[in-house]
Protein backbone atom coordinates (compact mmCIF):
# COMPACT_ATOMS: atom_id res chain seq x y z
CA UNK A 1 0.00 0.00 0.00
CA UNK A 2 2.86 2.30 0.83
CA UNK A 3 4.46 1.84 -2.57
CA UNK A 4 1.40 2.63 -4.57
CA UNK A 5 0.51 5.56 -2.36
CA UNK A 6 3.95 7.10 -2.78
CA UNK A 7 4.01 6.64 -6.50
CA UNK A 8 0.46 7.83 -6.81
CA UNK A 9 1.30 10.83 -4.73
CA UNK A 10 4.25 11.82 -6.83
CA UNK A 11 2.23 11.49 -9.99
CA UNK A 12 -0.61 13.55 -8.63
CA UNK A 13 1.88 16.21 -7.67
CA UNK A 14 3.42 16.36 -11.09
CA UNK A 15 0.02 16.27 -12.76
CA UNK A 16 -1.03 19.23 -10.70
CA UNK A 17 2.13 21.08 -11.64
CA UNK A 18 1.43 20.44 -15.27
CA UNK A 19 -2.16 21.54 -14.85
CA UNK A 20 -0.97 24.76 -13.26
CA UNK A 21 1.36 25.48 -16.13
CA UNK A 22 -1.19 24.64 -18.78
CA UNK A 23 -3.98 26.63 -17.21
CA UNK A 24 -1.72 29.60 -17.13
CA UNK A 25 -1.49 29.28 -20.91
CA UNK A 26 -5.14 30.20 -21.23
CA UNK A 27 -4.35 33.81 -20.42
CA UNK A 28 -3.65 35.62 -23.63
CA UNK A 29 -2.08 39.00 -24.01
CA UNK A 30 -3.70 41.56 -26.23
CA UNK A 31 -2.09 42.23 -29.54
CA UNK A 32 -1.48 45.90 -30.20
CA UNK A 33 -3.10 47.41 -33.22
CA UNK A 34 -3.68 51.10 -33.57
CA UNK A 35 -7.42 50.80 -33.05
CA UNK A 36 -7.21 48.90 -29.81
CA UNK A 37 -8.00 50.84 -26.65
CA UNK A 38 -5.11 51.90 -24.48
CA UNK A 39 -5.42 49.75 -21.38
CA UNK A 40 -4.28 51.36 -18.16
CA UNK A 41 -3.63 49.10 -15.19
CA UNK A 42 -4.35 50.32 -11.68
CA UNK A 43 -4.58 48.68 -8.27
CA UNK A 44 -6.52 50.57 -5.62
CA UNK A 45 -7.47 49.96 -1.99
CA UNK A 46 -11.20 49.71 -2.55
CA UNK A 47 -11.64 47.80 0.69
CA UNK A 48 -9.65 47.80 3.90
CA UNK A 49 -7.88 50.50 5.83
CA UNK A 50 -7.54 52.94 2.95
CA UNK A 51 -10.86 52.27 1.26
CA UNK A 52 -12.48 55.70 1.66
CA UNK A 53 -9.77 57.68 -0.08
CA UNK A 54 -9.18 54.68 -2.37
CA UNK A 55 -12.69 54.97 -3.72
CA UNK A 56 -12.18 58.71 -4.17
CA UNK A 57 -9.14 58.00 -6.31
CA UNK A 58 -11.16 55.54 -8.35
CA UNK A 59 -13.80 58.19 -9.06
CA UNK A 60 -11.07 60.61 -10.11
CA UNK A 61 -9.60 58.10 -12.57
CA UNK A 62 -13.00 57.29 -13.97
CA UNK A 63 -13.80 60.96 -14.46
CA UNK A 64 -10.49 61.40 -16.30
CA UNK A 65 -11.15 58.40 -18.55
CA UNK A 66 -14.59 59.67 -19.47
CA UNK A 67 -13.45 63.21 -20.19
CA UNK A 68 -10.56 61.98 -22.33
CA UNK A 69 -12.72 59.53 -24.26
CA UNK A 70 -15.40 62.16 -24.88
CA UNK A 71 -12.74 64.24 -26.55
CA UNK A 72 -11.63 61.41 -28.80
CA UNK A 73 -9.20 59.55 -26.60
CA UNK A 74 -5.41 59.54 -26.43
CA UNK A 75 -3.49 59.37 -29.71
CA UNK A 76 -6.85 58.66 -31.31
CA UNK A 77 -7.45 55.56 -29.22
CA UNK A 78 -9.98 55.16 -26.42
CA UNK A 79 -8.62 54.64 -22.93
CA UNK A 80 -9.79 51.76 -20.81
CA UNK A 81 -9.14 51.45 -17.09
CA UNK A 82 -8.47 48.06 -15.55
CA UNK A 83 -8.82 48.49 -11.80
CA UNK A 84 -8.06 45.78 -9.24
CA UNK A 85 -8.74 45.88 -5.51
CA UNK A 86 -5.68 45.33 -3.37
CA UNK A 87 -7.61 45.52 -0.07
CA UNK A 88 -5.07 48.01 1.30
CA UNK A 89 -2.52 45.16 1.40
CA UNK A 90 1.10 45.59 0.48
CA UNK A 91 1.19 41.88 -0.46
CA UNK A 92 -1.75 42.11 -2.80
CA UNK A 93 -0.70 45.24 -4.52
CA UNK A 94 2.54 43.65 -5.65
CA UNK A 95 0.63 40.68 -7.06
CA UNK A 96 -1.89 43.04 -8.67
CA UNK A 97 0.68 45.09 -10.56
CA UNK A 98 2.58 41.92 -11.42
CA UNK A 99 -0.62 40.57 -12.91
CA UNK A 100 -1.47 43.77 -14.74
CA UNK A 101 1.97 44.27 -16.26
CA UNK A 102 3.22 40.71 -16.53
CA UNK A 103 0.08 38.81 -17.38
CA UNK A 104 -2.44 41.25 -18.81
CA UNK A 105 0.16 43.29 -20.63
CA UNK A 106 -1.39 46.70 -19.96
CA UNK A 107 -0.01 49.65 -21.91
CA UNK A 108 0.32 52.09 -19.04
CA UNK A 109 -0.01 52.06 -15.28
CA UNK A 110 -1.33 54.61 -12.81
CA UNK A 111 -0.33 54.62 -9.19
CA UNK A 112 -2.40 53.52 -6.18
CA UNK A 113 -3.42 55.24 -3.01
CA UNK A 114 -1.34 55.59 0.14
CA UNK A 115 2.36 55.97 0.54
CA UNK A 116 2.58 52.64 2.28
CA UNK A 117 1.36 50.88 -0.81
CA UNK A 118 3.15 53.05 -3.33
CA UNK A 119 6.66 51.84 -2.55
CA UNK A 120 6.11 48.13 -3.23
CA UNK A 121 3.98 48.95 -6.27
CA UNK A 122 6.57 51.35 -7.64
CA UNK A 123 9.23 48.68 -7.33
CA UNK A 124 7.24 46.30 -9.50
CA UNK A 125 6.75 48.98 -12.11
CA UNK A 126 10.40 49.96 -11.93
CA UNK A 127 11.61 46.40 -12.44
CA UNK A 128 9.42 46.08 -15.50
CA UNK A 129 10.67 49.43 -16.79
CA UNK A 130 7.28 51.17 -16.63
CA UNK A 131 6.51 54.82 -16.01
CA UNK A 132 4.91 55.26 -12.61
CA UNK A 133 2.92 58.42 -11.90
CA UNK A 134 1.13 58.22 -8.60
CA UNK A 135 -1.48 60.34 -6.85
CA UNK A 136 -0.74 59.57 -3.24
CA UNK A 137 2.82 58.68 -2.28
CA UNK A 138 4.06 61.78 -0.55
CA UNK A 139 6.36 60.67 2.26
CA UNK A 140 10.12 61.31 2.12
CA UNK A 141 10.85 57.56 1.96
CA UNK A 142 9.20 57.29 -1.43
CA UNK A 143 11.81 59.53 -2.98
CA UNK A 144 14.73 57.88 -1.20
CA UNK A 145 14.32 54.45 -2.76
CA UNK A 146 16.23 55.24 -5.90
CA UNK A 147 13.25 54.91 -8.21
CA UNK A 148 13.96 56.42 -11.59
CA UNK A 149 10.47 56.22 -13.08
CA UNK A 150 8.36 57.69 -10.33
CA UNK A 151 6.48 61.01 -10.33
CA UNK A 152 4.18 62.30 -7.62
CA UNK A 153 1.11 64.05 -9.03
CA UNK A 154 0.35 66.66 -6.37
CA UNK A 155 1.85 70.00 -5.40
CA UNK A 156 4.02 69.02 -2.42
CA UNK A 157 5.52 66.16 -0.40
CA UNK A 158 4.26 65.16 3.05
CA UNK A 159 6.78 67.15 5.08
CA UNK A 160 5.74 70.34 3.37
CA UNK A 161 2.00 69.89 3.68
CA UNK A 162 1.66 72.10 6.72
CA UNK A 163 4.22 74.73 5.70
CA UNK A 164 1.74 77.58 5.40
CA UNK A 165 0.20 76.74 8.77
CA UNK A 166 3.62 76.68 10.41
CA UNK A 167 4.40 80.08 8.97
CA UNK A 168 1.09 81.46 10.16
CA UNK A 169 1.48 80.17 13.71
CA UNK A 170 5.06 81.36 14.03
CA UNK A 171 3.97 84.69 12.66
CA UNK A 172 1.35 85.21 15.39
CA UNK A 173 2.18 87.49 18.31
CA UNK A 174 3.89 85.51 21.10
CA UNK A 175 1.13 86.00 23.67
CA UNK A 176 -1.63 84.84 21.33
CA UNK A 177 -0.14 81.81 19.69
CA UNK A 178 -0.38 78.22 21.07
CA UNK A 179 2.40 77.42 23.54
CA UNK A 180 2.03 73.65 23.74
CA UNK A 181 1.21 71.07 21.11
CA UNK A 182 0.12 67.43 21.25
CA UNK A 183 0.93 65.15 18.30
CA UNK A 184 -0.81 61.87 17.53
CA UNK A 185 0.34 60.15 14.36
CA UNK A 186 -0.39 56.84 12.66
CA UNK A 187 2.65 54.72 11.97
CA UNK A 188 2.28 55.36 8.28
CA UNK A 189 4.88 57.17 6.21
CA UNK A 190 2.48 59.76 4.88
CA UNK A 191 0.42 60.50 7.98
CA UNK A 192 3.44 60.62 10.23
CA UNK A 193 5.34 62.62 7.64
CA UNK A 194 2.81 65.44 7.66
CA UNK A 195 2.65 65.69 11.44
CA UNK A 196 6.38 65.46 11.94
CA UNK A 197 7.03 68.03 9.23
CA UNK A 198 4.96 70.50 11.22
CA UNK A 199 6.50 69.35 14.50
CA UNK A 200 10.01 70.08 13.26
CA UNK A 201 9.15 73.63 12.32
CA UNK A 202 7.16 74.42 15.45
CA UNK A 203 9.79 72.99 17.77
CA UNK A 204 12.40 75.11 16.08
CA UNK A 205 10.30 78.17 16.89
CA UNK A 206 10.14 77.20 20.54
CA UNK A 207 6.62 75.83 20.73
CA UNK A 208 6.71 72.95 23.20
CA UNK A 209 5.72 69.35 22.36
CA UNK A 210 3.89 67.90 25.36
CA UNK A 211 2.52 64.69 23.86
CA UNK A 212 4.02 62.69 20.99
CA UNK A 213 2.18 59.44 20.31
CA UNK A 214 2.56 57.06 17.38
CA UNK A 215 0.10 54.20 16.91
CA UNK A 216 -0.13 51.24 14.52
CA UNK A 217 -2.55 51.57 11.59
CA UNK A 218 -5.21 49.20 12.84
CA UNK A 219 -5.63 50.94 16.19
CA UNK A 220 -9.24 51.61 17.00
CA UNK A 221 -9.16 52.30 20.73
CA UNK A 222 -7.92 55.81 21.39
CA UNK A 223 -9.08 56.16 24.99
CA UNK A 224 -5.63 56.17 26.52
CA UNK A 225 -4.05 58.40 23.88
CA UNK A 226 -6.97 60.80 24.28
CA UNK A 227 -6.61 60.63 28.06
CA UNK A 228 -2.97 61.63 27.79
CA UNK A 229 -3.73 64.49 25.43
CA UNK A 230 -6.60 65.73 27.59
CA UNK A 231 -4.48 65.56 30.72
CA UNK A 232 -1.72 67.58 29.06
CA UNK A 233 -4.15 70.40 28.24
CA UNK A 234 -2.17 71.19 25.10
CA UNK A 235 -3.20 74.37 23.28
CA UNK A 236 -3.07 72.63 19.94
CA UNK A 237 -3.58 69.12 18.64
CA UNK A 238 -2.00 67.89 15.43
CA UNK A 239 -3.16 64.59 14.01
CA UNK A 240 -1.09 62.70 11.43
CA UNK A 241 -4.06 60.63 10.45
CA UNK A 242 -5.84 58.87 7.63
CA UNK A 243 -9.59 58.65 8.11
CA UNK A 244 -11.14 56.35 10.68
CA UNK A 245 -8.39 56.91 13.21
CA UNK A 246 -9.00 60.67 13.09
CA UNK A 247 -12.71 60.10 13.67
CA UNK A 248 -12.04 57.76 16.58
CA UNK A 249 -9.50 60.08 18.14
CA UNK A 250 -11.79 63.10 17.89
CA UNK A 251 -14.73 61.21 19.40
CA UNK A 252 -12.52 60.03 22.24
CA UNK A 253 -11.36 63.61 22.81
CA UNK A 254 -14.96 64.79 22.75
CA UNK A 255 -15.83 62.16 25.36
CA UNK A 256 -13.15 63.60 27.61
CA UNK A 257 -14.28 67.18 26.90
CA UNK A 258 -10.86 68.28 25.69
CA UNK A 259 -11.10 71.65 23.96
CA UNK A 260 -7.98 72.80 22.09
CA UNK A 261 -7.47 76.21 20.58
CA UNK A 262 -6.25 74.75 17.29
CA UNK A 263 -6.93 71.33 15.80
CA UNK A 264 -5.30 70.12 12.60
CA UNK A 265 -5.73 66.64 11.07
CA UNK A 266 -4.41 65.34 7.78
CA UNK A 267 -6.63 63.59 5.24
CA UNK A 268 -9.79 62.95 7.28
CA UNK A 269 -11.37 66.42 7.16
CA UNK A 270 -11.22 66.36 3.37
CA UNK A 271 -13.52 63.34 3.30
CA UNK A 272 -17.26 63.93 2.71
CA UNK A 273 -18.28 61.53 5.52
CA UNK A 274 -16.15 63.28 8.10
CA UNK A 275 -18.65 65.85 9.37
CA UNK A 276 -21.37 63.32 10.10
CA UNK A 277 -18.94 60.90 11.70
CA UNK A 278 -17.95 63.34 14.42
CA UNK A 279 -21.44 64.59 15.12
CA UNK A 280 -21.12 67.64 12.89
CA UNK A 281 -18.92 69.39 15.42
CA UNK A 282 -16.44 70.36 12.74
CA UNK A 283 -16.18 74.11 13.17
CA UNK A 284 -12.59 75.26 13.12
CA UNK A 285 -10.88 71.98 12.24
CA UNK A 286 -7.91 72.50 9.93
CA UNK A 287 -6.45 70.23 7.29
CA UNK A 288 -3.83 70.53 4.59
CA UNK A 289 -5.13 70.13 1.10
CA UNK A 290 -3.56 70.15 -2.30
CA UNK A 291 -6.74 71.02 -4.08
CA UNK A 292 -9.69 73.35 -4.08
CA UNK A 293 -12.57 72.96 -6.46
CA UNK A 294 -12.86 76.70 -6.75
CA UNK A 295 -9.39 77.10 -8.29
CA UNK A 296 -9.54 78.81 -11.64
CA UNK A 297 -7.06 76.70 -13.66
CA UNK A 298 -8.82 76.04 -16.98
CA UNK A 299 -8.59 72.27 -16.76
CA UNK A 300 -10.00 72.45 -13.24
CA UNK A 301 -13.09 74.35 -14.28
CA UNK A 302 -13.83 71.66 -16.84
CA UNK A 303 -13.03 68.87 -14.38
CA UNK A 304 -15.35 70.21 -11.67
CA UNK A 305 -18.21 70.67 -14.08
CA UNK A 306 -17.93 67.20 -15.65
CA UNK A 307 -17.36 65.50 -12.28
CA UNK A 308 -20.48 67.11 -10.90
CA UNK A 309 -22.42 65.74 -13.87
CA UNK A 310 -21.10 62.26 -13.30
CA UNK A 311 -21.25 61.96 -9.53
CA UNK A 312 -23.47 64.75 -8.29
CA UNK A 313 -20.99 66.46 -5.98
CA UNK A 314 -17.86 68.50 -6.40
CA UNK A 315 -14.59 66.58 -6.36
CA UNK A 316 -12.26 66.66 -3.37
CA UNK A 317 -8.53 66.13 -3.03
CA UNK A 318 -8.25 62.41 -3.71
CA UNK A 319 -10.30 62.65 -6.89
CA UNK A 320 -8.28 65.64 -7.98
CA UNK A 321 -4.96 63.89 -7.39
CA UNK A 322 -6.16 60.97 -9.47
CA UNK A 323 -7.27 63.28 -12.24
CA UNK A 324 -3.91 65.01 -12.12
CA UNK A 325 -2.15 61.67 -12.54
CA UNK A 326 -4.17 61.06 -15.64
CA UNK A 327 -3.34 64.51 -16.96
CA UNK A 328 0.38 64.05 -16.38
CA UNK A 329 0.53 60.70 -18.16
CA UNK A 330 -1.67 61.94 -20.98
CA UNK A 331 0.58 64.94 -21.51
CA UNK A 332 3.64 62.70 -21.81
CA UNK A 333 1.87 60.25 -24.11
CA UNK A 334 0.64 62.96 -26.45
CA UNK A 335 4.05 64.59 -26.53
CA UNK A 336 6.07 61.44 -27.13
CA UNK A 337 3.46 59.77 -29.33
CA UNK A 338 3.38 56.21 -27.98
CA UNK A 339 1.55 54.21 -25.30
CA UNK A 340 2.84 50.66 -24.77
CA UNK A 341 5.27 48.62 -22.69
CA UNK A 342 8.94 48.62 -23.54
CA UNK A 343 11.17 51.46 -24.73
CA UNK A 344 8.23 53.84 -24.97
CA UNK A 345 8.04 53.97 -21.20
CA UNK A 346 11.59 55.28 -20.91
CA UNK A 347 10.82 58.03 -23.39
CA UNK A 348 7.79 59.05 -21.35
CA UNK A 349 9.93 59.21 -18.21
CA UNK A 350 12.52 61.40 -19.88
CA UNK A 351 9.91 63.79 -21.24
CA UNK A 352 8.31 64.30 -17.82
CA UNK A 353 11.69 64.84 -16.22
CA UNK A 354 12.26 67.89 -18.41
CA UNK A 355 8.79 69.41 -18.75
CA UNK A 356 6.01 71.13 -16.83
CA UNK A 357 2.42 69.92 -17.06
CA UNK A 358 -0.66 72.07 -16.55
CA UNK A 359 -3.11 70.35 -14.22
CA UNK A 360 -6.12 70.97 -12.00
CA UNK A 361 -3.77 71.74 -9.13
CA UNK A 362 -1.71 74.09 -11.20
CA UNK A 363 1.54 73.66 -13.13
CA UNK A 364 3.61 70.68 -11.94
CA UNK A 365 7.26 69.95 -12.42
CA UNK A 366 9.60 67.51 -10.69
CA UNK A 367 13.15 67.04 -9.50
CA UNK A 368 15.29 64.04 -10.38
CA UNK A 369 13.68 61.81 -7.74
CA UNK A 370 10.09 62.67 -8.68
CA UNK A 371 9.41 65.25 -5.99
CA UNK A 372 7.02 67.99 -7.06
CA UNK A 373 8.03 71.59 -6.50
CA UNK A 374 4.92 73.21 -5.05
CA UNK A 375 3.14 73.71 -1.71
CA UNK A 376 -0.15 72.66 -0.14
CA UNK A 377 -2.93 74.94 1.01
CA UNK A 378 -4.65 74.89 4.39
CA UNK A 379 -8.40 74.47 4.63
CA UNK A 380 -10.72 74.97 7.57
CA UNK A 381 -14.37 74.36 8.36
CA UNK A 382 -15.80 77.87 8.52
CA UNK A 383 -19.58 78.26 9.05
CA UNK A 384 -20.01 74.57 8.43
CA UNK A 385 -18.24 74.63 5.07
CA UNK A 386 -14.74 73.82 3.94
CA UNK A 387 -12.90 76.99 2.95
CA UNK A 388 -9.30 77.67 2.05
CA UNK A 389 -7.75 79.92 4.70
CA UNK A 390 -4.04 79.83 3.79
CA UNK A 391 -1.97 81.03 1.98
CA UNK A 392 -3.26 84.55 1.85
CA UNK A 393 -3.19 84.69 -1.94
CA UNK A 394 -5.58 81.75 -2.27
CA UNK A 395 -7.83 82.27 0.72
CA UNK A 396 -11.58 82.21 0.67
CA UNK A 397 -12.18 82.97 4.33
CA UNK A 398 -10.29 84.09 7.40
CA UNK A 399 -8.74 81.54 9.68
CA UNK A 400 -10.78 81.04 12.87
CA UNK A 401 -8.76 81.09 16.05
CA UNK A 402 -9.37 79.89 18.73
CA UNK A 403 -11.46 76.91 17.67
CA UNK A 404 -15.06 76.80 18.96
CA UNK A 405 -15.92 73.93 21.30
CA UNK A 406 -16.72 70.58 19.79
Partner 1 sequence: MRSGSESRRRIGTLARLLALAIGTALVLSFPQVAPNPYVLSAGVVIVNYAVLATSWNLVGGFTGYISLGHGAYLGLGAYGTGLLVTRADVPSFVALVIAAAIVAVLAIPIGIASLRVRGASFVIVSIALVLILLLVFQSWASFTGGSNGLVVPRPFPGLRRPEHHMVFFYLFCALLALALLAWWIIDRSRFGLGLKAIREDEDKAQALGTPTFAYKLAAFVVSATFTALGGGMYALWFGDLDPIFQFSILTGAYMVLMALLGGVRHLFGPVLGALVVGYALEYFKLEYGDTQLHLVATGVLLGLVVLFMPDGVIPAVADLYARFFKPQAASIREVSTAELLAQRAAEAGAQPGGGDGGPGGEPGGTSVPTSAEAKR
Partner 2 sequence: MISGSLLFQSLILGVLLGGLYALLAAGLTLYFGVMRVVMIAHSAFLILAAYLAWYFHRQTGLDPLLSMVVTAPLFFVIGVAMQRLLITRLRPATRTMMSVLLTFAIAIGIEGLLGYVFTGTHRRTQLSYSGASFELFGARVAVVKLIAFGLAAAALGGLFLLLRKTTFGQALRATMQHKEAAELAGIDTDRVAGYGFGIGLATAAVGGTAMALDVTIYPSLHWHWIGPLMAIIVVGGLGSVPGAAIAAMLLGVTQSLLQLPLGTTWAQTIFYLALFATLVFRPQGFFGGRLAQRF
Phi, psi of 332 (to 5 degrees): -65, -45
The single residue among 66, 82, 123, 281 that binds partner 1, judged by CB under 8 A, is: 123
Which of partner 2, partner 1, none lies near 51, with the C-beta cut-off 5 to 8 A by kind? Answer: partner 2
Please tell me the chain's helix, strand, coil percentages from 3-state DSSP, rounded to the nearest 5: 45, 20, 35
User: Is the Cβ of residue 282 or residue 300 nearer to partner 2 in the bound state?
Assistant: 282
Segment 70-89, which members bind partner 1 (CB under 8 A)?
84-87, 89
Residue 142 DSSP label: G
**How far apart, in whole angstroms, are the C-alpha atoms of residue 328 and residue 356?**
9
Segment 309-368, which members bind partner 1 (CB under 8 A)?
none
User: Is the Cβ of residue 244 or residue 299 nearer to partner 2 in the bound state?
Assistant: 244
**Cβ 84 to partner 2, closest distance in Å?**
15
- DSSP states of 332-396: HHHHHT--SSSHHHHHHHHHHHH--EEETTEEE-B-TTS-B----EEEEEETTEEEEEESGGG-S
Based on C-alpha coordinates, what's the Rg of the chain? 23
| Angle (nearest 5°) at CA 365 between 360 and 368 | 145
**Cβ 289 to partner 1, closest distance in Å?**
24
Nearest Cα neighbor of 255 from 231, 226, 275, 213 is 226
Strand partners, 286: 264, 380
Segment 166-195, which members bind partner 1 (CB under 8 A)?
187-189
The single residue among 69, 78, 82, 94 that binds partner 1, judged by CB under 8 A, is: 94
**Cβ 116 to partner 1, closest distance in Å?**
7
The single residue among 196, 215, 265, 274 that binds partner 2, judged by CB under 8 A, is: 215
268 binding partner 2? (CB under 8 A): no
The single residue among 12, 172, 231, 305 that binds partner 1, judged by CB under 8 A, is: 12
> What is the contact surface with partner 2 in residues (CB under 8 A)?
46-49, 51-52, 87-88, 213, 215-216, 218-221, 223-225, 227-228, 230-231, 244, 247-248, 251, 254-257, 276-279, 281, 406
> What is the contact surface with partner 1 in residues (CB under 8 A)?
3-14, 16-21, 24-25, 27, 29, 47, 84-87, 89-92, 94-96, 98-99, 102-103, 105, 116, 119-120, 123-124, 127-129, 141, 145, 187-189, 214, 216-218
Amino acid sequence: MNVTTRARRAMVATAAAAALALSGCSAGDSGDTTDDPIVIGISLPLTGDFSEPGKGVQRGYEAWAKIVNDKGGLLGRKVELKILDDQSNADRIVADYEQLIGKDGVDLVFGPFSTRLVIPAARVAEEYGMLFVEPAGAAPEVFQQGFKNLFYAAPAVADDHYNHLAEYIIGMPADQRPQTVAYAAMDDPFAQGTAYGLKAKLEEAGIRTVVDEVYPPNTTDFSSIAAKIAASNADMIVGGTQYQDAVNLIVALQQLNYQPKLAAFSTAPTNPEFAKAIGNKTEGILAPTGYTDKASYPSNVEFVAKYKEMFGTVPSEDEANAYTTGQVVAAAVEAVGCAEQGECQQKLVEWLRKNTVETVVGPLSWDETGRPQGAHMIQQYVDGEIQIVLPAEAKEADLIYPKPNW
